[in-house]
Each structure stands twice: as structure tokens, then as C-alpha cells.
Amino acid sequence: METSFLQLIKQRRTVYALGKQINFSEAEIYDYIKDVIRAVPSAFNSQPVRVAVLFNQSHQDLWEIVATALAAKIPADSFLRTKAKISTFQKAFGTILFFTDLDVVQKLVKTPKLATYQYQEYNWSEEAQGNAQFAVWTGLEANGLGVNLQHYDPLITATVKQRFAIPEHWQLRGEMVFGSIEQPGKIKPMIADDARFKLFK
């Protein structure tokens, strides 16, 4: 079996060298991200994924927040390397903040007809996050953009919520950076098939 979808998955890479030279407007990108996230599945159609898309100064501000938070945690001689890494994110076109709406999670936990499954609900919201992040990532790269995914939560969560007026019940789960591809991503190493696949007939 072979599909164009499989080819897109195989071509997806983590790209760190990003720029701002893209052929889409901010509105086109924002609408595309919304379309993708509306289409991804979630347990019991709970739809717990929330996003904030940052462009321009908002994008820059996010990575200044990250730099400030890390500067307070990392020795000064090590921070220079960290600051250089953060500057590569600032050179990108934008950032997508992914959140889980904990009110949605708690509502399902308290639903009597789902009592049997309560202990799994947070895990299921994480599955929804994975679905959304993977779909957006693959979709953006299918349109010629480069993407990488960062995880500076919970270190930056409180400041991010204050700066961007994010509801308290939205839990930050990741920061997806995107832009023009200035240098291709590296080939991904693969573990042996027998370490992760089993077949039973």
C-alpha cells in the first residue's frame, strides 16, 4: 500500500533553520491551522485542543519570555548557547501555542456514563494533542514550510498566560515554531523494526 499521505509523513522533518520568506499571508496560515485542528479526532469528540497563533511582535515576545525564564535557571556561561538557540526561533515566521482545555477534561471525568473510563481521560486528551500537533506539523510542511516543536512549559506557562490573556484552564502543552526552510532538517534515525512491531496471525 502506498499513498500520498504516507509520503508526506515520511518527508516530515524537524527543521531548526527557519526564516520569514514565505508565500502565505498570516490569515491564510491561521485559517489553515484552524481547518486542520477542526478535522482531527478526539476521544468522545471532546475536542480539548486549544491554540494561539503568534505572529510579528507576539512571536518575538514569546521567545523573549522563554529567554528570560531560562536566564534565571541556567548559569551565565551556559546561557549564551541557549540564547543563540532561542534566537533561531525568533527568526521564524511564527509560533503556534498548543493547549489542553482542562475544563473539557474535567467535564468528561464527571460524566456518569463515562465512569468506567475516568482514569484514562487525561491520557485521551494527550492523544488529541498528539493528533493535532502531528496533523498541523505535517500539513504545514506539505505546504513548503519548516517546523520544529518545543516544550518550555510549564516553565513559561504563567507568564505566557498573562502576556496573551490565556484562560487559566488552558494548560500549555507545546510551542510549534514555523517558517521558511533556510536549511533542510536532518534525516531521522530509525530503531529496528523488531524493537517496536509485533505481528500475530
Q: What is the mean pLDDT of each run of 10 residues along the chain (201 residues)?
A: 90 96 98 98 94 99 97 89 94 98 88 69 87 98 98 97 98 98 92 97 97
Counting Cα atoms < 13 Å in the Cβ hemisphere of 172 gives 25
- Enumerate the domain spans of the chain: 12-182
Chain centre distance of CA 94? 12
DSSP 167: -
Q: Which residues, in sequence order, are CB contacts of 122 under 8 Å at separation 6+?
A: 105
Confidence (pTM): 0.94
Pairing of strands 18-19, 49-55: unpaired
> Do residues 55 and 94 touch, judged by C-beta distance below 8 A?
yes
pLDDT score of 118: 60
CATH class of 12-182: alpha beta
